[in-house]
Amino acid sequence: MILPFVIWLIIFRYLPLWGWITAFQNYKPGIPLFQQQWVGLKYFKEMFNDPEFYLVMRNTLAMSLLGLIFGFPLPILLALLINEIRNESFKRTVQTISYLPHFVSWVIVASIVHAMLAPDGVVNYLLIQIGLIQEPILFLGEPRYFWWIVVFADLWKELGWNTIIYLAAIADVNPALYEAAEIDGAGRFKKMQYITLPCIMPVVTVILILSIGNIINIGYERQFLLRTPAVREVSEVIDLYALDYGIRAGRFSFGTAASMFKSVISLILVFSANQMSKRVSDYRIF
């Protein structure tokens, strides 16, 4: 059953790793790969000497850490709350509503965010009506708001979808444990605290380790679609850096070097998080 996914993984994840060779070459399209001019670590040195690189790393890490702080525990909380709904029809309705934003493209989500945060949008209207502000705020024109807008837009889109794996883990908990807890007088919150959470902790740990590994690998769709010229300094991330200063500029080797750096750091973070988890608990990936 997993064979199609293994084939997909090999074709789209492992075979393209041959392209990393171009990070050490002065790559020119049309020339065979092993006939390119080798330049060693030239593009890595160029990247580390570029002040723009450290700016995009700051933005990448800031948005990733905010996303981890808010985006990791909330799906667990939502899964616990959904699990406590006793009316099956209402439970399925809540699950469906929470999943739906995941299937909406970022183009549409960005359009919704732009409309809501516009000077004449619903957010400014409500803030004025309740007296928190006197005049509209240009949210997408203020750099100090951009990171939070990206994080919470992503949270709204993916929160329900991220609960699926936790709900599956909760469904695997032995019902006899809950029955024994009820006999001992445990309420819903006590059962969550002493049964549900400990039973799903291996899954939580694995997801946390993988999330830490993806801290630097946050993509670029949200930032690309939500940014405006006024917030460019805080919207550039490592993937946009590789795209703008590498691929679009025809500097394929430089773009590959930036992407390779991101992948290596992600791998180091996964191993480090796994080792830390191994030391403090019995839960780990490998």
The model's pLDDT over 14-23, given as tens digits with 9 standing for 90+, comes to 888 888 999 9
In a domain, 105, yes or no: yes
Arithmetic mean of pLDDT, 164-193:
90
CA distance 162 to 31: 44
Q: What is residue 63's predicted lDDT score, i.e. its pLDDT?
A: 94
- Residue 83 sits in a domain whose CATH number is 1.10.3720.10
In a domain, 53, yes or no: yes
Statement: residue 240 has pLDDT above 80 = yes
In a domain, 143, yes or no: yes
Give the C-alpha distances (Å, rounded to integers) separating 122 from 101, 118, 268, 284. Answer: 19, 8, 43, 45
Q: What is residue 273's predicted lDDT score, i.e. its pLDDT?
A: 84
- Number of domains forming the structure of the chain: 1
Record the pTM: 0.87
In a domain, 16, yes or no: no
Q: What is residue 216's predicted lDDT score, i.e. its pLDDT?
A: 86
Arithmetic mean of pLDDT, 91-97:
91
In a domain, 20, yes or no: no
* Amino acid at site 61: L
Q: What is residue 11's predicted lDDT score, i.e. its pLDDT?
A: 93
Arithmetic mean of pLDDT, 179-188:
88
In a domain, 83, yes or no: yes
Arithmetic mean of pLDDT, 7-30:
90
Q: What is residue 86's predicted lDDT score, i.e. its pLDDT?
A: 86
Statement: residue 58 has pLDDT above 80 = yes
Alpha helices in the chain (DSSP H): 3-9, 42-48, 51-71, 73-83, 88-99, 106-116, 122-129, 143-162, 164-171, 175-183, 188-191, 197-213, 221-226, 232-235, 238-242, 252-280
- The mean predicted confidence, pLDDT, of the chain is 90
Query: 145: pLDDT confidence band, cut at 50, 70 and 90?
Result: very high
Arithmetic mean of pLDDT, 126-134:
90
User: Can you give the residue range of the structural domain that contains 138?
Assistant: 43-280
Query: In sequence order, which residues have a C-beta less than 8 Å from that of residue 43 and are 6 or more positions away?
Result: 23, 24, 251, 253, 254, 256, 257
**Of 63, 76, 65, whose CA–CA distance to 205 is shortest?**
76
Statement: residue 247 has pLDDT above 90 = no
In a domain, 31, yes or no: no
In a domain, 27, yes or no: no
